[in-house]
Chains A and B, each alone.
Chain A
Amino acid sequence: MEYRLVGTAVPRKEAGRKVSGTAEYVDDVRLPEMLHGVTVRSTIPRGHIRKISFDGAIPWHEFVIVDARDIPGKNVVSLIYDDQPYLAAERVNHPQEPILLLAHADKHLLERARQNVHIEYEPLPAVFHLEEALAAETVIWGEDNVFKRYTIEKGEVDAMWSEAAFIVEGEYSTGAQEQLYIEPNGMIATFGAEGVTIRGSMQCPFYVQKALMALFGLPAEKVRVIQQETGGAFGGKEEYPSMLAGHAALLALKSGKPVKMVYDREEDMAATTKRHPSKTRHRTAVTSDGRLLAMEVEFSIDGGAYATLSGVVLSRGTIHSCGPYRCDNVRVRSVAVATNAPPHGAFRGFGAPQSLFALERHMDKIARTVGLEPDEFRARNLLRTGDSTATGQVIKDPIDLVRLQSRALDSIGYHEKRRRFPVENARSRRKKGIGFATFFHGAGFTGSGERFLQSVVTLEARAANRVRVLTSMTEMGQGTNTVLAQIAGEALGLCYEQVEVTNPDTAEVPNSGPTVASRTAMVVGKLVENAAREMKAKLPSHDFAALGPLRVTVQYKEPPGIFWDDALYRGEAYGAFSYATYAAEVTVDTLTGEVEVNDFVALQEVGRVLHPVLATGQIEGGVAQGIGMALYEKVVWRDGVMVNNQMTNYVMPTSADIPNIRVYFEEIPYEHGAMGAKGIGELPMDGPVPAVLNAIENAIGIDFDHAPVLPEDVLAKLAKRRVA
């Protein structure tokens, strides 16, 4: 099918504002009489609050002070379980837990005041590690520290061990990772007769609305949430904004004035969510000719002090843990546990980068054990059309993953380099290596999630043949405004400039679900396409003005033939998977331990590419975050506190660290995605970490089973090998 707009590189809708500095982010907004707000947080990981005192020469009477007693509704950040309070009343469960809120017009005085609130505690024993939490000798949440468990069972795993030619075991782990959007979290709240109004940096305006309805006991029409331009999010502004918006609103209610709360970098890094640390154990039965007989996986993640989204993150990590491989006998057991750290949360990939890292490291290990090349071993096991995934989802797309994988490897010269590098490495302290990962990522909500969301979008025809797209999908850099306009314009036969995408404001847009899970283009875009086709049928002449204003609203309907069993975790986990092979070439300096990525190929099949420049940019950005997770970004914990909560000591890749990232697409249009599109946003996060670590192993013959790998880790392993 030929398209006019879709597949072309139209200019990003809001690019003009962004390059001129006029885009309005929350910290750029100033309202009359506005106060600033700060949070007084716990300083211990777990305990009872005994006494709060206000010391020093601070004019406390000038301050608005809010504590848990000021909450008019429910003191819980309403999400999945109602376990997390907005403000701790009596008990704290992590070392950044909010206890008090302060507001004042003078930011500097406010900071002094915050430091002059003293809280005395009676400490309780705390838990900081996954194993400790699982052992449950100290119980800090529920009956056994367990937020959620899942089991996937397919075939007869137990019967296979005796038939296996090889049984390969491995244990892999990943640390926390900070989203590190360059704009920290921020919100402004006002309170008036019309209710509460929130403006801020966020992914999901309707999550914030729902949370504030419970906090204040207000109906939906009294809670208005408006998204400001959002300076990056990556999952880090999925659930946390509900907390911050609530805090700003509590101060606004008590002061009667607008209140702005914008975190500084240190507070944002220490107190807000990060990627869940994980541990994965694999035990795999393989035939003598390198076919997967049985896969047994145990996957666990550390959720921090409250449940938040951990169960959902666990779900995605669990479903992705066996990757795009064919195996008739599978058992996955997974668990998310509580520790006394700030809650971990959504971060691009949502559990899948952790479990796919483990799998793709393990696949290299199996290949080595079996005596096959890593690509040959994978090729013997990759899913083909008609095969089924771990949950029994039958792959219907006409995919050819073996060809996809070999195309990516050819692009980077994989085989030639596997032969050449060992020869060259023998003469140099700088050792080169090459590695790759083949993986998939499911787009949209898991299982029956999209059916429950019941997403709605509206199209509105206006004068002068202009159309407005109304959805709750937020623009946070990924290109929502642009691709939704392309889709609507394409289907209506209008030009790109005639389509306007409305800024999410709960008073104006319908609830199209949250901007998460790589669902915007694929799922919500499809609704926009459907609405546009319906509108076009009503307006054959395109003379909108003559017909007066026209609105078309459509709601999500599940595509036919989708079956998901939530109890057994079986069936169609996702509407569609995107597939990829990523390959990395690295140099390891055996003197300094430094690892440099010299070349990177990212080849993926993502359905129709709606916008080549934006899509390429999404992949490149994800790969860079993945390289960060592989080689640079290490959260250092001390008793539940992130101690390197600054950009100086938590290091993300700079322009000098990133290799040439070469992005290639294959396009197999997906019939239920907008114009054939599948999800793309999270996919690039899954591949870089295993690809880079596999390349390191190829370079120096040492396998690293934990990410990130820092120079000191390389040096330590090299030293250990010398001793041995």
Chain B
Amino acid sequence: MPKRTVSLVVNGRPQHVETHPMSRLLDVLREDLSLTGTKEGCGEGECGACSVLLNGQLVNSCLVPVGQAEGARICTIEGVGQHGLHPVQAAFISEGGAQCGICTPGMIMATIDLLARYPEPALEQIREGLAGNLCRCTGYMRIFSAVQKAAQAGP
């Protein structure tokens, strides 16, 4: 398949990438744009480590062919807290929401998405809202606390 130029706006900056349209958005971010904060845990849409916001929607970037993201606005972990820690990041630190950290960028993107939909989420909404993001270290409890604390801090 021939390469072509795909244009995206990543973390507010226009980017033009020469690539196969079927390349995974995940690889374009990590390899072409050197944004390695987005992680790969499974490559099959199960773990959520590769979560990013695409036009404000939470997606698994390992499942998105970059051709489908033509013209889209992408926000990755590198775009969060560009001007000092984001409240979600601060809450993950203080509540112990990150252990090994490999799920953390995706978990933070999912939390930002969750809080945009439910600014004051009930525990059940947090449980359901994060169910697409696997964490093997924490047993999720500290992550729930982090989400609640970030919600209290407001946007």
Contact = CB atoms under 8 A, between A and B. Distances in A.
A182 B46 CA distance: 11
Interface residues of B, number: 54
Contact of B36 (A12, A21, A621, A647): A21
Interface stretch (B2-10, B63-71, B124-132): B124-132
B135 interface: yes
B136 A234 contact: yes
A478 B136 CA distance: 12
Interface string A1-21: 000000001011011111111
A182 B41 contact: yes
B141 interface: yes
A658 interface: yes
Contact of B39 (A17, A183, A230, A233): A183
Contacts of B30: 27-28
B103 A655 contact: no
B140 A12 contact: no
A613 interface: yes
A183 B131 contact: no
Interface in A635-668: 646-648, 652, 654-656, 658, 660-661
B77 A20 contact: yes
A513 interface: no
A232 B136 contact: yes
A653 to B, nearest CB: 8
A621 B139 contact: yes
Given A616-B142, A647-B47, A648-B46, A181 B100 contact: yes
Contacts of A660: 141
A229 interface: yes
A661 B42 CA distance: 27
B3 to A, nearest CB: 13
Nearest to B132: A654
A101 interface: no
B142 A230 contact: no
Contacts of B137: 232, 477, 617, 621
Given A232-B102, A647-B46, A655-B126, A620 B136 contact: no
Interface string A602-633: 00000000000110110011111100000000
Contacts of A184: 41
B140 A658 contact: yes
A229 B81 CA distance: 21
Q: How large is the interface on A (under 10, 10 to 19, 20 to 34, 35 or more residues)?
A: 35 or more
Contacts of A661: 139, 141
A624 B139 contact: yes
A9 B93 CA distance: 11
Interface string B15-55: 00000000000000010001111111111101101000000
Given A232-B137, A476-B100, A21 B41 contact: no
B8 to A, nearest CB: 18
A170 interface: no
A543 interface: no
B134 A182 contact: yes
Contact of A28 (B36, B133, B136, B140): B36
A18 B42 contact: no
Nearest to B90: A19
Given A232-B102, A647-B47, A181 B108 contact: no
A232 B134 CA distance: 12
A477 B100 contact: yes
A621 B102 contact: no
A265 B44 CA distance: 9
B98 interface: yes
Given A182-B102, A655-B126, 10 more contacts: A15-B92, A19-B98, A181-B102, A182-B100, A183-B102, A232-B136, A476-B100, A654-B131, A655-B127, A658-B139
A-B pairs, top 10 by smallest CB distance, nearest first, are A21-B37, A231-B102, A477-B100, A18-B101, A624-B139, A620-B139, A477-B99, A21-B77, A647-B46, A28-B36
6 contacts: A18-B104, A20-B80, A20-B81, A27-B36, A181-B136, A479-B99
